[in-house]
Amino acid sequence: MKIRVGMGFDVHRFAIGRELWLGGIRIAHPIGLLGHSDADVLIHAICDALLGAANARDIGFHFPDSDKKYEGIDSKILLSKTMQIVRDKNFEVSNIDCTICAEHPKLQGYIPEITGKLAEIIGVSEDDISVKATTTEKLGFIGRNEGIATYAVALLYQTGKE
């Protein structure tokens, strides 16, 4: 059986007047993230990890910010489309591991809902999705509450001949 690993990373700065979306869930916070889409930094990192593992380029290649049809798009749609690309290459998800780096808001209470939403979109068990949150101990742009960064790793297995 062929297995492939991919790593994703994304970062967005905070912006007044925007909603905060992480992992397909709206987070109660007075400011959101700036981006061409809904700026769901977690889903974007997951998409890059999945696409990398499938050797299918990256999120910017498939959903460029220069294309008006992706302006303001719900990132759950991007994740669903990414899964179709992965499955078209005869891969399925074994597991995904993610880390959200943010000083604020505190995310522990949201993690079960985020995990459930991601598992639903991807079509796997919640046990196959790990979401963690950490701070940077007030260091750097994250520590100054200027934005959020996320890391994701995806393990895929091949379901048939490519």
Q: 135 labelled as ligand-binding?
A: yes
Q: 159 labelled as ligand-binding?
A: no
Q: 36 labelled as ligand-binding?
A: yes
CA dist., res. 42 & res. 87, Å (int): 21
Q: 136 labelled as ligand-binding?
A: yes
Q: 65 labelled as ligand-binding?
A: yes
102 neighbors 158 (Cβ within 8 angstroms): no
Q: 104 labelled as ligand-binding?
A: no
Burial label for 118, CB within 10 Å (0-12, 13-18, 19+), is: buried
CA dist., res. 132 & res. 50, Å (int): 18
Q: 103 labelled as ligand-binding?
A: no
Structure tokens belonging to residue 155: 């393990």
Q: 67 labelled as ligand-binding?
A: yes
Q: 37 labelled as ligand-binding?
A: yes
Q: 59 labelled as ligand-binding?
A: yes
Q: 114 labelled as ligand-binding?
A: no
Q: 120 labelled as ligand-binding?
A: no
- Residues whose CB is less than 8 angstroms from the CB of residue 19 and which lie 6 or more positions away in sequence, other chains included: 26, 32, 38
Q: 11 labelled as ligand-binding?
A: yes
Q: 134 labelled as ligand-binding?
A: yes
Q: 112 labelled as ligand-binding?
A: no
93 neighbors 4 (Cβ within 8 angstroms): no
Strand, helix or coil for residue 89: coil
Q: 137 labelled as ligand-binding?
A: yes
Q: Which residues carry a binding-site annotation for a divalent metal cation? A: 10, 12, 44
Binding residues: 10-12, 36-37, 44, 58-60, 63-67, 134-137, 141, 144
